Amino acid sequence: MGWVGEGKKELTVGVVGMGYVGLPLLLQFAHCGNRVLGFDIDTSKVDSIKAGKSYIRHISSDAIAAALKEGRMDATTDFSRVPEVDAVIICVPTPLTKHREPDIGYILSTGQHIGPHLKKGQMVVLESTTYPGTTDEDLRPVLEKLSGLTAGTDFLLAFSPEREDPGNPKFKTADIPKVVGGFSVECGKAAQALYRKADINVVPVSSTRAAEATKLLENIFRCVNIALVNELKVVFDRMGIDIWEVVEAAKTKPFGFMPFYPGPGLGGHCVPIDPFYLTWKAREYGVATRFIELAGEINTAMPKYVISRMLEALSDRGKSLKGANILMLGIAYKKDVDDMRESPSFILWELLLERGANVTFHDPFVPVVPKTREHAHFTGLTSVSLTPEILKRCDAVLIATDHSNVDYAMVVRNAPLVVDTRNACGKLDADLRSRVFKT
């Protein structure tokens, strides 16, 4: 069986899920001269794209408008248009359930949307981060049942994990090599050819499972190393040693070391979630993943640790958290992005409220708290301005995200207490730095 896109000068590529991962990928294919069709169940995203407007801060509307103008791009909620494309790439969410188990419901429902329209010779590639076996054991049966076709014989199937780092100006979609694993050798080769049409370097692996496992290794590596520096931070805090100074010094070693930084807890759609996809799947094989679970425990304990340190700092000044006015600086999960998913700021916020503090926040990238599943009661709260008057009126500022466009010197000069969980004030003058309570 051949792939319908084989040898074509210009492909038509469908991307399902036009979020942080899907939209840049769609634009990359369009930029390289292909036609693209974005599928999403969210009509507001489809309407925005059709109007040439970006809804993701670090993606410019110009890029969308250019692709529209050239007639290379369209978006739809209508999956009966699947037959128009040579390949469908799936970039839908993979969260955890309430009980912290993998929720592949979005992948399966995408399979149900695509399946009835799948034609012979088309290709389906899954990109969502997930446990080894998802493409083959979970997605494939849905596609086969609803299309009446067989993977590897009638249509091509592959997995290629996304490695997007939103907000990182050093690496754009095209600069990041893509690991590609096919359901069969032929599927793998065709999927490699697909990504090459977007000028992306490919790294072939032997199977969809190996590709799925590669992504988990990458994120577990981050999760475990962040847990290690978080644990070291707690130890060094007690010893009066500055963990950031130590990491900066250690990273001058030209081999065998890679810096990771402590923080108030893990955030984002990947690192706090993905390791537990493996933990869950490993149980099926009777294997325990103690290292991963320990890392999860340490990282999950960080917000409580930060609050206990904050209590110490306040009590040194004769204050308690009860009734204190706390301004949280930064609520996005990492610097210079507007993404709030799994942000540790929400946990800090809840803990502060539980202890009777009055909490306001400032975030240059999040003017209004968006709707979230687990912290819906914060929805609609607005960012306060960061002025000397407001800072003077609060009892403490808690720096939870180290956005680059904040005047930290002004914050330290005016706030009675600054608790810095990200070393955001690390580059200030020595005099200002000495006033900051780092943790």
Ligand X SMILES: NC(=O)c1ccc[n+]([C@@H]2O[C@H](COP(=O)([O-])OP(=O)(O)OC[C@H]3O[C@@H](n4cnc5c(N)ncnc54)[C@H](O)[C@@H]3O)[C@@H](O)[C@H]2O)c1
Window contacting ligand X (CB under 6 A); options: 39-47, 174-182, 327-335, 425-433: 39-47
Residue 84: C-alpha distances to residues 2, 13, 78, 80 (Å): 17, 9, 12, 9
**What are the two backbone dihedrals, phi and then psi, of residue 40, each rounded to the nearest 5 degrees?**
-155, 155
192 touches ligand X (CB under 6 A)? no
Beta carbon nearer to ligand X, 49 or 306? 49
Which residue of the chain is nearest ligand X when measured via CB? 19
**What are the two backbone dihedrals, phi and then psi, of residue 348, each rounded to the nearest 5 degrees?**
-60, -45
Beta carbon nearer to ligand X, 23 or 352? 23
As given in the structure block, the two tokens for residue 35 are 């036609």
113 touches ligand X (CB under 6 A)? yes
144 touches ligand X (CB under 6 A)? no
Beta carbon nearer to ligand X, 42 or 429? 42
200 touches ligand X (CB under 6 A)? no
22 touches ligand X (CB under 6 A)? yes
Residues pairing with 205 in the sheet: 181
Beta carbon nearer to ligand X, 91 or 306? 91
Which residue is listed with tokens 């005047």? 407
User: Which residues inside 44-73 make contact with ligand X, applying CB under 6 A?
Assistant: 45
Beta carbon nearer to ligand X, 168 or 325? 168
76 touches ligand X (CB under 6 A)? no
List 5, 166, 182, 344, residue binding ligand X (CB under 6 A): 166
List 18, 64, 67, 123, residue binding ligand X (CB under 6 A): 18
Q: State the catalytic residue, choosing from 32, 91, 223, 270.
A: 270
Burial class (CB in 10 A: 0-12, 13-18, 19+), 231: middle
369 touches ligand X (CB under 6 A)? no
157 in helix, strand or coil?
A: strand
Query: Whole-angstrom Cα distance, residue 51 to residue 42?
Result: 15
Q: Which of 260, 235, 402 is nearest to 332 (CA)?
A: 402
Window contacting ligand X (CB under 6 A); options: 102-110, 183-191, 277-285, 429-437: 102-110
Map residues 241-280 to x or -, x wherever contact with ligand X holds by CB under 6 A.
----------------------------xx----------
Count helices and strands (H / E) in the chain: 14, 13
Window contacting ligand X (CB under 6 A); options: 87-95, 308-316, 384-392, 430-438: 87-95
88 touches ligand X (CB under 6 A)? no
List 5, 14, 19, 263, residue binding ligand X (CB under 6 A): 19
Q: SS3 for 36-102, per residue? A: EEEECCCHHHHHHHHCCCCCCCCCCHHHHHHHHHCCCEEEECCHHHHHHCCEEEECCCCCECCCCCE
Window contacting ligand X (CB under 6 A); options: 12-20, 26-34, 345-353, 413-421: 12-20
Torsional sign, CA 337, 339, 340, 342? negative
* 270 is annotated as an active-site residue: yes
As given in the structure block, the two tokens for residue 65 are 């408008």
Q: Are β-strands 73-76 and 35-39 bridged in parallel, bridged antiparallel, or unpaired?
A: parallel
Window contacting ligand X (CB under 6 A); options: 109-117, 177-185, 343-351, 399-407: 109-117
Window contacting ligand X (CB under 6 A); options: 60-68, 86-94, 278-286, 346-354: 86-94
| Strands of the sheet with 418-420, listed across from one edge | 358-362, 325-329, 396-399, 418-420, 436-438
**Alpha carbon 188 to chain centroid, angstroms:** 26
**Alpha carbon 431 to chain centroid, angstroms:** 36
159 touches ligand X (CB under 6 A)? no
Which residue is listed with tokens 């805090």? 237
List 38, 40, 140, 343, residue binding ligand X (CB under 6 A): 40
Beta carbon nearer to ligand X, 91 or 327? 91
Which chain residues interact with ligand X by CB under 6 A?
A: 16-22, 39-42, 45, 91-94, 106, 109-110, 113, 128-129, 162-164, 166, 269-270
Catalytic residue list: 270
